[in-house]
A = this chain, B = another copy of it.
Amino acid sequence: MRTSQYLLSTLKETPASAEVISHQLMLRAGLVRNVASGLYTWLPTGLKVLRKVEQIVREEMEKAGAIEVLMPMVQPADLWEESGRWEDYGPELLRLNDRHNRSFVLGPTHEEVITKLIANEISSYKQLPVNLFQIQTKFRDEIRPRFGVMRGREFLMKDAYSFHLDETCLKTTYQNMYNAYCRIFERLGLDYRPVIADTGSIGGDASHEFHVLADSGEDDIAFSDQSDFAANIEKAEALAPKGTRPSATQELTQVATPNVKTIEEVATFLSVDAQQTVKTLLVQGANENTPVIALVLRGDHQLNEIKAENLSEVASPLTFATDEQIQTTANCNAGSIGPVNLPIPVIVDRSAAHLADFICGANVHDTHFSGVNWDRDIQNYQVADIRNVVEGDPSPCGQGNIVIKRGIEVGHIFQLGEKYAQAMNCGVLTETGKNQTLTMGCYGIGVSRIVAAAIEQNHDKYGIKWPSAIAPFQAAIVPMNMAKSARVKETAEQLYAQLQRAGVDVIFDDRKERPGVMFADHELIGTPFLLIIGERNLDTQEIEVKNRITGEKSLMKIDQVMSLFQ
């Protein structure tokens, strides 16, 4: 590719609208352009990266025995009614009507279409298992699209769906996909981690997310510092403190705490550590009989909303009690609630339940209790894991302590079970002639999001530092003052022809631009090798090679350049 016949579209200025570095660099390097909120055009350079990611995903899916299909983006509403998601799915599901006023959706995912297909096409256990995938454009009507293609509305996704006669078979394919995902992210050259994940609204029994580690990630991942354990913080178990709870040594004492509301204010006012206090949060209950539930956490801990809403007593999605409910239930405002004599179910986090002689709200305005002790002062309560782990917690795997890093979710695999197969009557005849509902797995990769995540993880102040497998170009030929030197021009043209013949994805910068402009563009775009051809070095048949990743410059004989790409 010659830049003179290409749409380079690099920008000198950082567009003000872009919040995160990957979005800024994708705009500046000419990878994408915004068409409307959450909708992007992929420019030539961006599309080259996208296609390379797509091809690696495709190859590894095929190697793992998955078969590619292509389902429509526009899906009839009746399939979604059959699965129940026409009702359940929120406004992210874009609904539309055709000219005959029939209802459709723009597919955010394809469980319905594939389950119906399998129900029609597969009738015997002999045809199982089957694992079908597609790499296809999805649409999710995000309420606030942001971070460029990281959270866009229209995006490219690889989604796969496997169907099985039993759970053992599902688990085998699940592990197979887990391994394929590891190979994919390794080949992409990304620092990634598979982490245990919550199954969320999609349902099912087991789930892993694949995260690209980056400080700008939206998710917190809990790792063990001594094992392979990694889990989304939503799902990472906080173990109960070891040993037995200390015995009570203080009397229960009511303390006036005027204008003291937050944990920090309480701790400061009473000169204690926040770890010696508890906070009490009121949330909606799952049953009519218990409309409000109290959740009690140690003062320095954070509620884990996913863990809380997974409790049968708590309404899902988690909803905090209204000010009115707080007043009616606890007779005070939110700053003074505590578990002593609270006339509602109380669920206490494992760490809070391990405290003795602690401080809590007294359910009286501007008043706290000190010297509070479980069982002596509060009799009815239940203990559960409802907090986020924090760094230094013992790892739930039993080895080492928790370290927390941020990650960008780029893949997610689920053991779905029978949810869709049951709703859509997807079964086969078994060997004994019985009709058996199939069990299902689903496996997603955010293809376009990977491009952004790779940049979040690989950039410097000059621009993008692509892993070589997905760099838009493997090399850039940058001739110095080609217009003035026939020898430079001839060498550049020869090298270009030679690299093209060898199948190297090379861009030849044949613009009449100053060297500084050309260098800046190619460093911004992140081409791994800059091949700089100058009059000065041609006497010795050499060119200057600049490595974008290491920043190293070296002189290299022209006939050895090919060795960089072998």
Contact = CB atoms under 8 A, between A and B. Distances in A.
Interface of A: 5-7, 9, 33, 35-36, 39-44, 47, 50, 65, 67-76, 79, 91-92, 94, 96-99, 102, 104, 106, 113, 116-117, 120-122, 127, 130, 132, 137, 139, 141, 143, 153-154
Contacts of A76: 35-36, 39
B40 A7 contact: no
A17 to B, nearest CB: 14
Contacts of A122: 7
Contact of A7 (B36, B102, B121): B121
A106 B74 contact: yes
A74 B33 contact: no
B96 A69 contact: no
Given A39-B72, A39-B76, A69-B42, A33 B141 contact: no
A135 to B, nearest CB: 10
A72 B113 contact: no
B7 A130 contact: yes
Contacts of A40: 72
A6 B130 CA distance: 8
B72 A35 contact: yes
Nearest to A156: B70
A99 B330 CA distance: 38
Contact of A96 (B39, B94, B117, B132): B94
Nearest to A48: B68
A67 B7 contact: yes
A428 to B, nearest CB: 14
A36 B39 CA distance: 26
Contacts of A36: 72, 74-76, 102, 104
Contact of A41 (B69, B96, B139): B69
B69 A9 contact: no
Nearest to A136: B137
A88 B209 CA distance: 47
Contact of A44 (B9, B69, B75): B69
B141 A99 contact: yes
A121 B7 CA distance: 8
B6 A67 contact: yes
Contacts of A98: 94, 141, 153
A74 B154 contact: yes
A73 B33 contact: no
A83 to B, nearest CB: 14
Contacts of A130: 7
Nearest to A35: B72
Nearest to A36: B76
A442 to B, nearest CB: 16
A36 B107 CA distance: 14
B120 A41 contact: no
Nearest to A67: B44
Contacts of A43: 69, 121
3 nearest A-B residue pairs (beta carbon) = A36-B76, A96-B96, A42-B70
23 contacts: A7-B121, A7-B130, A33-B120, A33-B121, A35-B72, A35-B79, A35-B116, A36-B72, A36-B74, A36-B102, A36-B104, A41-B70, A41-B72, A42-B71, A43-B121, A44-B132, A73-B137, A74-B154, A91-B99, A92-B99, A94-B99, A96-B106, A98-B141
A106 B117 CA distance: 25
A220 to B, nearest CB: 28
Contacts of A99: 91-92, 94, 141, 143
A16 to B, nearest CB: 16
Contacts of A33: 117, 120-121
B73 A35 contact: no
B141 A72 contact: no
